[in-house]
C-alpha cells in the first residue's frame, strides 16, 4: 500500500520567499494513505472518514477547473461513492504539508500521464494544489510524491538528493502543542521585506547561513552545520519574534547561551513544531521535559 509522507522544511523557512536556497525532507512518522475500510487502531488517524470523503468530493469538483486534464476525475468520484477515503495521522495546523500529501496521493492514483522529469512533475503538482488550496510552489506535494529530500536552489531549480547517514549530533522536533495560522505570519514577513534595513540585517545573513547549512548537512559536517544553525537561531530570535511562541523563548535563549543546542523555526512558526539541533541529545534532553519531542535525523 502506497503512503504519502508529511514534509518538513528543514532549512530555508521564510528566506525562501526571498529566493534563498531551501531543503525540504519527507517525514514518514506522519503519513497519509488511501483506504476503503476503518484504519488499524495502531494508526492514530486525525481525520474522520466522513469528513475526508466530503473534502475529497469538494476537491474533485475544484479540480474540474484545471487548465489541462491531469487526472481521471470520473474514477475518483466513483471510488469516493464506493467508500474510498484518505486517512492520515498528521496533526492539522502544524505546517507538515498535509495538502501536499493529498495532492501526491490523488496524482499517484489518478494521474493520466505521470511526469518523471522533476521540474515538469513539480509544475503538475503545483497546478493541482493551486486549484483547491490557493497559490502553491509544488514543493510540498513533490516531496510527498517522490519521498526524497529536495534541494531548492536560489535560482529555483530543484534537485532530489540523498542525505548521508548522520554519525553525530541530533536533529529533533519539539511539539509546542499550539496550532497556528501561517498566512498572517507570512504576510508580516513579506511586509518586513519592504524595508531595506530588514533585508540587510536579517534576510541576507540568514540566506547565507541557510546555504552554508545545506552544504554542511549534505557533506556530513555536523560541526559546520551547528555553526550555521547558531547564526540562523540568533537572527530568528532577534528579527522574527512573532514566529516564536512565548513558551519557547526561554529554552531558545538557553540553547544560545550554552552553545549545547540551537532552536529554529519549522515552517511558518507561531506554533506547531520547532526544530532543534544538538551536539549531544542525552545531555540536553532535560531542557525539553515539558515538551513532546521527536527525533528527526
**Domains of the chain from N-terminus onward:** 4-160 (3.30.230.10), 170-295 (3.30.70.890)
- With cut-offs at 50, 70 and 90, classify the pLDDT of residue 165: confident
- What is the C-alpha to C-alpha distance for residues 172 and 297, in angstroms, rounded to an integer? 7
Percentage of the chain lying above the pLDDT 70 cut: 98
Query: Above 80 in pLDDT, residue 68?
Result: yes
- With cut-offs at 50, 70 and 90, classify the pLDDT of residue 182: confident
Residue 186, classified by CB atoms within 10 Å of its CB into exposed (0-12), middle (13-18) or buried (19+), is middle
Q: What is the DSSP string of 98-166?
A: HHHHHHHHHHHHHBSS---SHHHHHHHHHHHHHHHHSS--SHHHHHHHHTS-EEE-TTS-EEE--PPPP
What is the reported pLDDT for 38? Answer: 66
Distance of CA 123 to the CA centre of its chain: 18
- What is the C-alpha to C-alpha distance for residues 152 and 140, in angstroms, rounded to an integer? 12
What is the reported pLDDT for 60? Answer: 92
Q: What is the pLDDT of residues 22-48, one digit of tens each?
A: 999 999 999 998 988 766 667 788 888
How far the first Cα of the chain sits from its last, in Å, is 25
What is the reported pLDDT for 180? Answer: 81
Query: Above 90 in pLDDT, residue 148?
Result: yes
Give just the sign of the alpha carbon dihedral 210, 212, 215, 216.
Answer: negative
Query: Above 80 in pLDDT, residue 132?
Result: no
Q: Helix (H, G, I), strand (E, B), or coil: what is residue 181?
A: coil
Give the helix/strand (H/E) hosting 276: strand 273-278
Cα–Cα separations (whole angstroms), residue 4 to 104, 114, 220: 7, 16, 27
- With cut-offs at 50, 70 and 90, classify the pLDDT of residue 118: very high
Of 35-49, 156-170, 196-210, least confident by mean pLDDT is 35-49
Query: Above 90 in pLDDT, residue 49?
Result: no
For residues 75-106, one letter each, b for 16 or more C-beta atoms within 10 angstroms of the residue's C-beta and e for the rest, the string is ebeebbeeebbbbbbbbeebbbbbbbbbbbbb
Query: Above 70 in pLDDT, residue 1?
Result: no
Q: Which residue has the cell 466513483?
A: 78
What is the reported pLDDT for 40? Answer: 63
In this prediction the pTM is: 0.91
| Rounded mean pLDDT, 94-105 | 87
Highest mean pLDDT: which of 81-95, 128-142, 260-274? 260-274
| Rounded mean pLDDT, 68-91 | 92
Which residues, 6+ apart, have CB-to-CB distance to 144 below 8 Å?
A: 4, 5, 6, 7, 26, 32, 97, 100, 101, 103, 104, 105
Query: Above 80 in pLDDT, residue 53?
Result: yes
Q: What is the pLDDT of residues 279-296, one digit of tens each?
A: 999 999 999 999 999 988
What is the reported pLDDT for 41? Answer: 63
- With cut-offs at 50, 70 and 90, classify the pLDDT of residue 91: confident
Query: Above 90 in pLDDT, residue 72?
Result: yes
Q: What is the pLDDT of residues 243-270, one digit of tens each?
A: 999 999 999 999 999 999 999 999 889 9
Amino acid at each position: 500500500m502506497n503512503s504519502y509522507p508529511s514534509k518538513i522544511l528543514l532549512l530555508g523557512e521564510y528566506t525562501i520567499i526571498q529566493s534563498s536556497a531551501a531543503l525540504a525532507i519527507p517525514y514518514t512518522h506522519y503519513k497519509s494513505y488511501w483506504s476503503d475500510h476503518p484504519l488499524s487502531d495502531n494508526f492514530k488517524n486525525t481525520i474522520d472518514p466522513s469528513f475526508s470523503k466530503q473534502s475529497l468530493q469538494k476537491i474533485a469538483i475544484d479540480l474540474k477547473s484545471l487548465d489541462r486534464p491531469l487526472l481521471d476525475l470520473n474514477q475518483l468520484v466513483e471510488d469516493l461513492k464506493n467508500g474510498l477515503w484518505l486517512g492520515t495521522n498528521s496533526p492539522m495546523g502544524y505546517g507538515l504539508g498535509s495538502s501536499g500529501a493529498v495532492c501526491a496521493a490523488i496524482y499517484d492514483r489518478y494521474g493520466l500521464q505521470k511526469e518523471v522529469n522533476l521540474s515538469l512533475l513539480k509544475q503538475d503538482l503545483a497546478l493541482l494544489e493551486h486549484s483547491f488550496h490557493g497559490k502553491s510552489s509544488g514543493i510540498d506535494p513533490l516531496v510527498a510524491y517522490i519521498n526524497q529530500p529536495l534541494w531548492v536552489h536560489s535560482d529555483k531549480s530543484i534537485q532530489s538528493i540523498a542525505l548521508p547517514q548522520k554519525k553525530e549530533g541530533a536533529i529533533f522536533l519539539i511539539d509546542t502543542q499550539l496550532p497556528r495560522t501561517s498566512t498572517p505570519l507570512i504576510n508580516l514577513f513579506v511586509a518586513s521585506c519592504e524595508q531595506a534595513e530588514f533585508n540587510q540585517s536579517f534576510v541576507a545573513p540568514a540566506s547565507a547561513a541557510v546555504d552554508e547549512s545545506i552544504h554542511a548537512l549534505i557533506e556530513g559536517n555536523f560541526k559546520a552545520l551547528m555553526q550555521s544553525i547558531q547564526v540562523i537561531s540568533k537572527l530568528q530570535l532577534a528579527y522574527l519574534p512573532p514566529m516564536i511562541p512565548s513558551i519557547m523563548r526561554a529554552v531558545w535563549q538557553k540553547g544560545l547561551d550554552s552553545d549545547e543546542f540551537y532552536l529554529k523555526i519549522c515552517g511558518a512558526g507561531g506554533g506547531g513544531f520547532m526544530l532543534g539541533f544538538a551536539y549531544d541529545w542525552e545531555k540536553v534532553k532535560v531542557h525539553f521535559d515539558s515538551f513532546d519531542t521527536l527525533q528527526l535525523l
